[in-house]
Structure 1
Amino acid sequence: MLRLLVIVLFLVVLITFALSNPDPESLWVVSYGWQLSIGVLTLGVGVASFLIGAFVMWIGELRQRSRARRAESQVRKLESQLIDLHQQLGRYTAATPATATETPAAYPAATPGI
């Protein structure tokens, strides 16, 4: 939301500048010259800069999305391992209660007073 507000304010300033400077000026780049108003030139440079910035931001978002996908696949893999371990623990605890309640023969019951 803050980005949108900054973009709108920037475009309002650019459009206001472009409308207030309609006089054509001679512009030269190396040996090529043309007549263009400073406002239109500023607006064109601003729009081009915005498009380049949006493209760079999009590339960064693609990298972030790929990292997020890798992290999510790792989380899914770890969750499946956790489920497997819970199932193994359940099988182990289901099998051991019968032997855990019996008194082992190696340890006879203690007699009082000894």
Structure 2
Amino acid sequence: MLRLLVIVLFLIALITFALSNPDPQPLWIVSYGWQLSIGVLVLGVGVASFLVGGLIMLIGEFRQRTRARRAEHQIRTLESQMIELHQRLDRYTNSPAPVTPPPSTTPIA
């Protein structure tokens, strides 16, 4: 929610700047030139920046989801191993004790 508020405030500032500077200015990139208002240029750069930032954030989100899926799979594997070990322990503790013959009372000569 805070991100959305910051984005909206920044876009309002960009739009205000674009509307305040409507005079066209000559712009040159290498040998290509054109007339464009500075406000529209700043607004276009701002929108492009938001799109690139959103794309980078989306890529990061996909990476986090992949790591979370891997971690959940590992947790499920460990839980199944733990259940198996508990079942083994229950079998060993619930099995009857081995019968040992009583010690003989006859003296050994």
Structure 1 unaligned spans of 5+: 107-114
Structure 2 unaligned spans of 5+: 104-109
Assess, with a 3 A threshold, how the Cα gap between structure 1 residues 53 and 103 changes in structure 2: closer, same or farther.
Answer: same
> CA–CA distance in 1 between the matches of 2:101 and 2:3?
72
Amino acid at match of 1:91: R
What is the deviation of 1:95? 0.8
Assess, with a 3 A threshold, how the Cα gap between structure 1 residues 65 and 104 changes in structure 2: closer, same or farther.
Answer: farther
SS of match in other structure, 1:36: strand
Percent pairwise identity = 73
Amino acid at match of 1:86: H
Query: Taking structure 2 as the reference length, what is the TM-score of the superposition?
Result: 0.85
2:73 is aligned with 1:73 = yes
What is the deviation of 1:69? 0.9
Any runs of at least 4 consecutive aligned residues in structure 1 with deviations exceeding 2 A, and if so which?
Answer: 102-106
What is the deviation of 1:47? 0.4
Deviations 1:84-107 (A, max 9, x none): 1111112122114xx39x99846x
> CA–CA distance in 2 between the matches of 1:5 and 1:22?
27
Matches within 5 A, 1:5-44: 5-44=5-44
What is the deviation of 1:65? 1.2
Deviations 1:36-67 (A, max 9, x none): 11110000000001111111111111111111
- 1:64 corresponds to: 64
What is the deviation of 1:33? 0.8
2:16 is aligned with 1:4 = no
> CA–CA distance in 2 between the matches of 1:105 and 1:28?
105
RMSD: 1.9
- 1:112 corresponds to: none
SS of match in other structure, 1:33: strand
